Amino acid sequence: MKIIKDITDIEKLHMENTAVALGKFDGVHRGHRDIMERLIKEKNKGYISLIFTFSRNPKTAGKNISEEKIFTENEQMLVYEKTGIDIIIVYPIDSGILNMSAEAFVKNILVDRLGVKKIICGGDFRFGKDRLGDTSTLKSCGERYGFDTEIVDMVSENGKIISSTVIRRLIKEGKLEEAEKMLGHRFSIAGRVVYGNQIGRILDTPTANIIPEKEKIIPPYGVYVSLCNIDGKYYRGVTNIGYKPTINEKEKQLGVETYFLDYIGNLYGRIIEIELVKHTRPEMKFDSTDALKRQLVKDKEICRNIIFE
């Protein structure tokens, strides 16, 4: 999979015969995966499969608004790598793209640079200056420039349209099971394992600490039963999200620390992905590390008794 983010590299492109999926794809939820599955079918027909997305949501560009992402750009790339898609273009959001008319975007980028022959997107896709371009614009441009447009219907769950906005709300409220149904997969947090307080040695439990990216949406602080994919095998864990008040009351860095039940190994420096399965208790301050250790035994027992599907 090739990833292109630099505007200079994009401007040099002169591709041919591509099928392009358009969208932001925050969350890579069931609706997004439907689009990707259709894109892979086009690849099987001989097209180059390409996802065209943006470095940030155009609706928030130029505004003092912090984006809350279900899956960060780096986490999205971990998903894309598993799909077999050929190219990912993450287009930088700047004044040039924000002021480009819808038809200019189609002609100058999709047609002239990417050689598009098939476009796949959701029915709510908007683009161009002031977001005036829509699926009707794509279809009319396709007639002029020689490409087909496939509009993918919104996906529903229990009568509710699946959207990133709804999923973000569910995650912030701690309703992970509902969010999972809409995502089509468990909510997860990925990152590079860093050195922590070495508390795992005191508690006789191997641990892995990752620092979530600033834009990553985080569920309520506390303890979760979790799963971690390490070299293709899943390991059970107890994951604490928060500031570890028992160890360091002045801790300022939000962390995601996982205590593994049955994994022994050195993960420092590796990128891992922690899937959150179930919230079991809020973050708590204990009187001592011995009290924390006794609670961790209980947390592990809860984890062992959960039946994973």
18-22 sheet: strands from edge to edge:
2-4, 87-91, 48-54, 18-22, 116-122, 148-152
- pLDDT tens digits, residue range 196-219? 665 555 556 678 999 999 999 999
pLDDT at 36: 94
Whether 17 and 86 have beta carbons less than 8 Å apart is answered as: no
Q: Where are the beta strands (DSSP E) in 5-144?
A: 18-22, 48-54, 87-91, 116-122
Q: Which long-range contacts (CB under 8 A, 24 or more apart) does 33-38 make?
A: 33/184, 34/152, 34/155, 35/120, 35/121, 35/122, 35/152, 36/83, 36/85, 38/120, 38/150, 38/152
Average pLDDT, the chain: 88
Q: Which of 260, 281, 168, 166 is nearest to 219 (CA)?
A: 168
| Residue-wise pLDDT tens digits, 41-72 | 999 999 999 999 988 777 666 666 667 899 99
Residues 6+ apart with CB under 8 A from 38: 21, 120, 150, 152
pTM: 0.85
Is 250 a residue whose pLDDT tops 60?
no
